[in-house]
């Protein structure tokens, strides 16, 4: 997908693979565009769930909710995390957690500000049968302190940074998908038009061509109005 997106962007810029947008610029914009669209998966999912609960959502061929759920599931992974100095360090690629388990037990999350109140009574204090976890910025810790085995974390990861790789031939960058650091987009194929639009917006700002940015925003607005009419 990444080569087709780049060719489409360059065609829109009317540069025939040379000039205004370097491979390095494209890769930066591609990373930003992919993350932006990935973030929109979750806001759109929440909106569609609300529409479903209000019985205002199609569940036939136009079931966008199921499609979004499937797209998000592709980024859902499970990882066993070892304890390090009493803490469980979060994976560097984590977007958001889904669940935490210790053995066969699901861990309940307790806000740091409420943790002290758990120990005011033996009935509420965490135990091996009813463990809890606290989210502390870049890591988790589990209570009671006697629990020190691996924790199982199910989480949604961030998409990998896309990278259009190339060889220079006759002073022109030629696509090389065999490079060791090549990385295609990880979004669904139907997101390709949105990727092109988002990259064009950034490209228009870079080459100081407001018409390109305005045209991309106009297409984006028209598509949004059509989907929400």
Helix orientation angle between 192-206 and 23-53, rounded to the nearest 10 degrees: 130
DSSP 3-state assignment of 87? strand
Residue 58 has a pLDDT of: 66
Task: Tell me what pLDDT residue 135 has.
Answer: 93
Half-sphere exposure of 20 (CA within 13 A, CB side): 21
Comparing CA positions, the residue from 212, 220, 202, 211 lying closest to residue 25 is 202
Q: Strand pairing partners for 140?
A: 88, 135
Q: Name the phi and psi angles at 74, rounded to 5.
A: -65, -20
State the pTM of this model. Answer: 0.80
pLDDT tens over the chain, length 229 residues:
999 999 999 888 875 444 568 899 999 999 999 999 999 999 998 888 887 777 776 666 567 888 899 999 999 999 999 999 889 999 999 999 999 999 999 999 999 888 888 887 777 788 888 999 999 889 999 999 899 999 999 999 999 999 999 999 998 899 999 999 999 999 999 999 999 999 988 887 554 455 555 655 555 555 555 455 5
């Amino acid at each position: 997908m990444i080569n087709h997106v780049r060719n489409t962007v360059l065609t829109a810029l009317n540069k025939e693979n040379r000039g205004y947008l370097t491979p390095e610029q494209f890769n930066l914009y591609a990373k930003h565009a992919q993350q932006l669209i990935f973030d929109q998966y979750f806001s759109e999912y929440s909106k569609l769930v609300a529409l479903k609960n209000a019985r205002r959502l199609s569940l036939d061929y136009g079931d966008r909710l199921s499609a979004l759920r499937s797209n998000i599931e592709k980024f859902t992974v499970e990882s066993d995390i070892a304890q390090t100095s009493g803490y469980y360090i979060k994976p560097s690629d984590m977007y958001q957690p889904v669940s935490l388990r210790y053995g066969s037990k699901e861990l309940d999350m307790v806000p740091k500000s409420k943790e002290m109140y758990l120990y005011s009574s033996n009935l509420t204090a965490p135990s091996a049968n009813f463990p809890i976890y606290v989210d502390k910025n870049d890591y988790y810790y589990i209570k009671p302190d006697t629990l020190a085995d691996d924790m199982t974390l199910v989480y949604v990861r961030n998409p990998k940074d896309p990278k259009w790789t190339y060889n220079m031939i006759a002073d022109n960058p030629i696509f090389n998908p065999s490079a060791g650091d090549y990385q295609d987009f990880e979004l669904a194929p139907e997101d390709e038009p949105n990727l092109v639009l988002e990259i064009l917006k950034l490209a228009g700002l870079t080459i100081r061509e407001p018409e390109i940015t305005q045209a991309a925003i106009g297409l984006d607005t028209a598509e949004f109005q059509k989907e929400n009419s």
